[in-house]
Structure 1
Amino acid sequence: MIQKLFSYLIPIKIFKKKSARSKTIEVTWANGELVLDSENTNYSYGSLQRILRYGLRNIGYDTILKMDHILVLGVAGGSVIKTLVDEIDYKGKITGVEIDSEMIQIANQYFNLNKIEQLELIIDDAFEFVLKTKDQYDLIIIDIFEDIKMPNFLFERFFSERVCSLLKDDGFVLFNTMILDEAHNVRNRKYISEINTTLFSSKMLPRIEVHNELIIIKKVA
């Protein structure tokens, strides 16, 4: 494809749409791959895929292959789902929760998410879904942004405790956060400090991208 070849020289935008939640959604050929961006940040593939792949590698691909059910809160273009299926060869069930139905249409059209048989996509608010679900999960990936903003509820103690309560024994939470100023550093440290250390261990991974910090929580009891 000529656009793919030229994208090694210059990014080529092939789709752009206004979005109520993300301001603008763009699909672009960049360095030979399709990426999904909002107005001010990468949403899927590109740098975001590298970040979440780094988190999954830290948990361990062998560990992930033994899991039965993974929950993804914030699907966007589905790059972390593609990493799980195409790169790790994960065969278990994946439930993806995305609030923006327009985003899912784009993910299906350009990134073929609807062709992943083990994936169940649910259009819902992550907060509402976490309150309602009766399932338990081996891994919960939280990757929720509205452009460069993260909803406040993600850092509230009630939500984090509810998410952790959905983990099976030895289950993990992989939480992608954005750090733009010192207040965000304080927010992340507070979040970590509120985790129940009797039941869970937690760590922040060294950053591989300037503005993203990954938090990993493991259920130990």
Structure 2
Amino acid sequence: MLKKIVSYLLPIKIYQSKSAWSKSIEVTWANGELVLDSENTNYSYGSLQRILRKGLKTIGFKRIKKMEHVLVLGVAGGSVIKTLVDEIGFTGKITGVEIDPEIITVANTYFKINEIPNLTIVIDDAFEFILKTKDKYDLIIIDIFQDTTMPAFLFEKFFTDRVCFLLKSKGVVLFNTMCLDSESNLRNKKYVGEFYENQFKIRTIPRVEVHNELIVIEKLI
């Protein structure tokens, strides 16, 4: 409790490790809450939770609550999953795909995501998972970073087409992107501008944080 109170004045790091995928995994008390960070950016809770919460609000909490199956590509500490369960009251199936088992160990220890009964965690590469899965999903959340870097495959047409194929009727993709420079801002403009599928529409959401832009893809039929 003392650390929580003091964290309103200055952040208090309580855990640090590294893994094959992350140079640094840090759990910190900041502004009265536990957050998960990499070396240079926020991975879960804190600003990232606010960003994804806005995306979910834009889609509609009532709409999401009625869904049956949500896929989360990139779990980290599980903040978006906590928003789904604790704030929206989502009781359907949640499948979380995370490439880094050390991150899941930390998420279980400090954020208790292993206590969420409707969550199934799959340790796998997101690209490999979407090629193998036989399920269809009402909502697919893409939140994949390696520190401040986004894997190039996320913006390739093959990956986008496959993700869209996995949507159920009227399904939605919520794609969190990081834009740190003019090049990445142009990347996003090109991604949105060149997206064209008759059965889908694409749009961006006004930014909550200057370096994160949410892209929403909705299946129209």
Q: Shorter-normalised TM-score: what interval?
A: over 0.9
Match status 1:36 vs 2:39: no
Match of 1:166 in 2: 166
Q: Deviations over 1:58-91 (max 9, x none)?
A: 0000100110000000000000000000111111
Q: Deviations over 1:181-204 (max 9, x none)?
A: 111122112212333331101101
Match of 1:116 in 2: 116
Distance 1:131 1:158 in 2: 10
Q: Which runs of 5+ in 2 are unaligned?
A: none
Q: Residue 80 of structure 1 aligns to a residue in which SS?
A: helix
Match of 1:94 in 2: 94
Match status 1:8 vs 2:15: no
Distance 2:56 2:114 in 1: 22
How many residue pairs end up in the alignment? Answer: 221
Q: Residue 189 of structure 1 aligns to a residue in which SS?
A: helix
Match for 2:9: what amino acid? L
Match of 2:195 in 1: 195
Distance 1:187 1:203 in 2: 14
Match of 1:70 in 2: 70
Match for 1:37: what amino acid? D
Q: Which runs of 5+ in 1 are unaligned?
A: none
Match of 1:61 in 2: 61
Distance 1:63 1:134 in 2: 24
Distance 1:196 1:23 in 2: 37
Distance 1:194 1:70 in 2: 26
Q: Residue 10 of structure 2 aligns to a residue in which SS?
A: coil
Contact kept? 1:40, 1:148, Cα under 8 Å = yes
Match status 1:135 vs 2:135: yes
Match for 2:101: what amino acid? S
Q: Deviations over 1:6-45 (max 9, x none)?
A: 1111111000012222210000001110000000000000
Contact kept? 1:205, 1:215, Cα under 8 Å = yes
Q: TM-score, normalized by length of structure 1?
A: 0.98
Shifted more, 183-192 versus 54-63: the winner is 183-192
Match of 2:146 in 1: 146
Q: Residue 207 of structure 1 aligns to a residue in which SS?
A: coil
Contact kept? 1:157, 1:194, Cα under 8 Å = no
Match of 2:18 in 1: 18
| RMSD over aligned Cα atoms | 0.8
Distance 2:177 2:46 in 1: 16
Distance 1:212 1:85 in 2: 23
Match for 1:201: what amino acid? K
Measure how far apart 1:2 and its partner are: 1.2
Contact kept? 1:78, 1:107, Cα under 8 Å = yes
Measure how far apart 1:174 and its partner are: 0.1
Q: Residue 21 of structure 1 aligns to a residue in which SS?
A: coil
